[in-house]
Structure 1
């Protein structure tokens, strides 16, 4: 687990008071939502912050700010905004879920699990969908709980190699790699490159080099090729972690995060994992 003190201290340092005297909070919030929909996330965050300052009772405004900061990958600011929203409306369960995502991306996995649990207590119908909680459980060392979460996720998403792999990773820690391989969830319809080879890697049927080779050999456009290389290196790294090879884990996480940055949630997971490793050095 990474040290949490410096990150939590940075949250406090973001506490900038915005004055918006005389401004119309509903109008500012409407503008924030409009520019957010247009993909102007920095502007949306600024307008939502002004709306929040103009109306100290509004929980919608800091929630919108948090969502915009999340799009900007400014997770410290997102946590602060969602915390403000929850102070103004403690029953705003979705803010716990969103803040949990930001905590996870910051490597604050214990805090992420706590927020996800609060959200799911209020919205139990979403429990099977919540693979993100399973990832957070893996990183706090609650491996059997993580295994159960990914088994539960299978009920709504049975053809996802990533779910199978994270189930394996938790199971390998809770029991053994041999048992995890025997329990590997079968998947036949995940056509993303190189997911077929990733599953075969954890089944013990191909080598890490073959997974990486499949990503390189695929005839894809530039962005899809980068994504394939990212996922190949991420899951090769996680495979090496399950085998206890710290050097290879770090090597392939660095490749995934630093060379093949993509806009997907799993890049943030890989980045948080790499930061955790570097902090331990």
Structure 2
């Protein structure tokens, strides 16, 4: 997950999470360390710019050893992401699980699956998914927060905070502040105020995580105010960011009108 989700496409040899197509491969670098996207040269629905891949794809790309099951797994992930954006959360999990059946290596990187599990109230599985993801990428701020969100629903905020996953320093100011707020406790209003005059993406993410923080504290009315604000922000309305879609899915799942 990244802030913002805009991308710069390159066509050089990938060095972290890429996978390959049988003909060529490219990666799209996000402004967050470790999340890379993959373009498949096949006939599928319109390209979704948020596409998870596994580090195992590096070897496949170098050797040309991409199996058909690996390709099908990547296609299933893409379908799952599209379904989530469309509000079919259960359908998205079915596709993500199918991808894991086809290529078990993918599970270690399927943060999208963790997000979907959260909205199905499958919090234990969601926490497990995020813990696996952070084990692969120990600098993943957002996954540590989402693990907390799942475990807060299971054990309460105090216990979830004791279990909070330590990660490296995030280069993004808004996520550093959000991380500290979730880890140590804090004031979501201050988070939003701090970034209200900043970049559109920062205001969106501050509002998004303020809403999620309030939800972890069982303050639904306050959560609604900030989640709706994130959806109605300039970034929330215009961006193709997967998290902008998530904010809308969140409101849909809570029956909050936008």
- Alignment coverage as a number of residue pairs: 195
Alignment of 1:256 with 2:230, yes or no, is yes
1:277 corresponds in structure 2 to: 254
Structure 2, unpaired ranges of 5+: 1-40, 50-68
Residue aligning to 1:40 = none
Structure 2 residue aligned with 1:240: 214
Out of 119, 122, 127, the position equivalent to 1:142 is: 122
- Residue 188 to residue 211, structure 1, CA distance change in 2 (3 Å): farther
Displacement of 1:279 in angstroms is 6.0
Partner of 2:28: none
**Residues 233-281 of structure 1: per-residue CA shift (max 9 Å, x gap):** 0001001111111111111111111113233111111111112223699
1:152 maps to which of 93, 108, 132: 132
CA contact (8 A) 1:193 1:215 kept: no
1:206, distance to aligned residue in structure 2 (A): 2.5
Instruction: Identify the structure with bigger relative contact order (alpha carbons < 8 Å, sequence gap 6+).
Output: 2
Task: Give, in whole Å, the separation in 1 of the partners of 2:232 and 2:92.
Answer: 24
Partner Cα distance (2:256, 2:191) in 1: 28
Q: 1:187 aligns with which of 143, 167, 170?
A: 167
Provide closer, same or farther for how the CA distance between residues 279 and 254 of structure 1 changes in structure 2, counting only shifts above 3 A: closer
Listed as ranges, the gaps of 5+ residues in structure 1 are 1-58, 72-88, 219-224
Pair member with larger Rg: 1
Pick the structure with more helix per residue.
Answer: 1
Q: How does 1:11-160 map to 2 (within 5 A)?
A: 60-61=42-43, 63=44, 66-68=45-47, 70=48, 92-160=72-140
Residues 1:227 and 2:207 aligned together: no
TM-score, normalization: structure 2? Answer: 0.70
Contact residue 148 and residue 160 of structure 2 kept, 8 A: yes
Is the CA contact 1:193–1:214 (under 8 Å) kept in the aligned structure 2?
Answer: no
SS, match of residue 128 in structure 1: helix
Distance in 1, matches of 2:42 and 2:176, equals 43
> Is 2:80–2:92's contact at 8 Å kept on the other side of the alignment?
yes
Query: 1:110 touches 1:140 (CA, 8 Å); kept in 2?
Result: yes
Superimposed CA distance per residue, residues 166-199 of structure 1 (whole angstroms, 9 cap, x where no aligned partner): 0001111122111111111123320212111111
Distance 1:205 1:177 in 2: 9
Q: What SS does the corresponding residue of 2:255 show, helix, strand or coil? A: helix
